[in-house]
Amino acid sequence: MNQYRGMSRPSRRRSGAPPCRRFARLPALLLLAPLAACSVGPKFVAPDAPLGLKWREARNPAVKTRREDYRNWWTAFRDPTLNRLVLIAYDQNLTLMETGARVLKARAILGQAIGEVYPQSQQLNGSGDYIKLPRTDASTNPSNAIGNNFWRVDLGGQVAWEIDLWGKFRHGVESADAAYLASIATYDDVLVTLIGDVANDYIAVRTLQAQIAIAKANVIKQREALDIAQARYKGGATSELDVFQAKNVLAQTEAAIPQYSAQLQKQENALCVLLGEPPQTIDSLLNRSRGIPAPPATVAVGIPADLLRRRPDVRAAELKAVAQGAQVGIAEADLYPAFTLGGAFGTLASTANGATLKPLFTQPSLTFAFGPSFSWPILNYGQITNNVRAQDAELQALLINYKNTVLKAQREVEDGLSGFLQGRHQVVLLKQSVAAASSALTVALAQYQLGTRDFTTVLTAEQNLYQAQNNLVAAEGNVSVSLTMAYRALGGGWQIRWGRDFVTASVANEMRSRTNWGELLPPAGKKAPATPGLPGPSDLGPTVRPPQW
């Protein structure tokens, strides 16, 4: 994956002109073109990625550095509902379908680029005319040689083949090839993002359900405390202040329930959209399991260098740079003359003078011409040179973007691991806090009933318990979300597309009903052409290959 090596052997940039440019001044270049074809423009070399040697959290016993492909990383949560949701989203998500259609578009554009290497039909035309001439005086046309009425049929065509002397069309194939593979990597990146979003939304749904359950449980406890305060007030043991304070805390806790319920509905709506369905209740899916998905005790992360192979966005960033590098070569080829072999043929027949149309395709009626030509926009040198510079600047920007993408990928992994590991430690401490708060409430209620403590102590204990329980549930959800972030940052999940088409059967049928897709979108039941499992510059095909119809 370190560099691209195509069949055209693009030359590296040098301070002087490449050897092939010296032929530009030779008058016999046209005769030597089939043998002397070369290629101008830079040779793509992937920049050195700024990679760390190991992860910052690698010393933690919960972090393993063994390599995994993370094909089904979400199964580590051992939640059947989550597994089901991922499969539904993969089959039905509309954003993924849209990206799959764009893969087919890129594949068709590649076919166009391949066709540019071969001779092109410039024009094919024909006409059939019925001609009626005005009658003339016998003295001016005594023999009426032509006749007043006759048919004339004219057919002709032109073909041209621009010799790819400077690699312009081969660079076009390189660029389209890389763009096609970049579209596959983009599809994979959308798939990775989709799976991560499904997992995050599902964890958020479960976390909100747990928070609602905790609020309802605390409402029951606080109503019991209110009953005690009312009983003591009626017995004359306390003032009505205790009753009002109890009602205040109870109402605040009850008010949290509709707030969480609204958030839960929004989260379910978001999950429905990811599943390709209109917002609706998904209780039938959620009933498969309960509770926040529990993360595994350990996580395997490999080494930072694995991201270059596995993360789709890193591959896409490099492939976009490869495609742009070929665009520099295309622009630079315009600095040199273009040589074309062209030909024209035609036939003409008419019924004038008593003739017939039968000789239309016989030798007397046929005409043809064949010969070379060249064009050289020499006066546009400044414009073309600046176009080369513009394309090269875009290439440099994409190379820098590739490095930046690698850095961001490492940051995302580190952030996910840090949230997972530190979050687990936070959960341990919060469990102790919940246990202490629960015991404090029990003691406070007992002492209040005995009259040894005022009701403020009970209220404080109630609030502390509710807050501690709510914090614990939120922390447990954050641990699972952080692990999801780490898995997504490691670039796993896109491998589930292996052996599958980029569009669903229904979408394929819809496209086939409008357009002849040939082998690019074969009939139902027939496998589409294989696509690379790990797209990268080494997967680029030869720059010259048979045309694709």
For 388-400, how does the pLDDT look when each residue is reduced to its tens digit (9 = 90+)? 999 999 999 999 9
- The Cα 223–Cα 211 span in angstroms is 18
- 19 compared with 247, residue with greater pLDDT: 247
pLDDT tens, position by position, 49-84:
888 888 888 888 888 888 777 889 999 999 999 999
- 258 compared with 5, residue with greater pLDDT: 258
pLDDT score of 22 more than 60: no
- The Cα 139–Cα 75 span in angstroms is 101
pLDDT at 75: 92
At residue 374, what is the residue type? F
pLDDT score of 165 more than 80: yes
The answer to whether 490 and 302 have CB atoms below 8 angstroms apart is yes
Q: pLDDT band at residue 24, thresholds of 50, 70 and 90?
A: very low
Q: pLDDT band at residue 33, thresholds of 50, 70 and 90?
A: very low
- The Cα 115–Cα 544 span in angstroms is 10
Radius of gyration (Cα) for the chain, nearest Å? 37
Kindly report the average pLDDT of the chain as a whole number. 84
**Could you tell me which residues come within 8 angstroms of residue 146 by beta carbon, excluding any fewer than 6 positions away?**
133, 352, 353
- 236 compared with 139, residue with greater pLDDT: 236
pLDDT at 5: 33
What the chain holds in terms of domains, given with CATH numbers, is: 19-117+164-337+376-498+533-539 (1.20.1600.10), 118-163+338-375 (2.20.200)
Q: pLDDT band at residue 378, thresholds of 50, 70 and 90?
A: confident
- 369 compared with 198, residue with greater pLDDT: 198
DSSP state of 523: P
Q: pLDDT band at residue 14, thresholds of 50, 70 and 90?
A: very low
- The Cα 159–Cα 118 span in angstroms is 11
Which range among 131-140, 198-207, 210-219 shows the weakest confidence by mean pLDDT? 131-140
pLDDT score of 228 more than 70: yes
**Could you tell me which residues come within 8 angstroms of residue 492 by beta carbon, excluding any fewer than 6 positions away?**
68, 69, 70, 71, 73, 192, 310
- The Cα 129–Cα 357 span in angstroms is 12
Q: pLDDT band at residue 320, thresholds of 50, 70 and 90?
A: very high
- Percent with pLDDT over 70 in the chain: 84
pLDDT score of 270 more than 50: yes
Nearest to 464 by CA among 498, 436, 506: 436
- The Cα 20–Cα 35 span in angstroms is 11
- 28 compared with 535, residue with greater pLDDT: 535
pLDDT score of 479 more than 70: yes
Give the pLDDT mean for 153-162: 79
pLDDT tens, position by position, 79-115:
999 999 999 999 999 999 999 999 999 999 998 898 8
pLDDT score of 25 more than 70: no
Structure tokens at 41: 């423009």
Q: CA angle at residue 219 from 218 to 224, to 5 degrees? A: 95
pLDDT at 115: 87
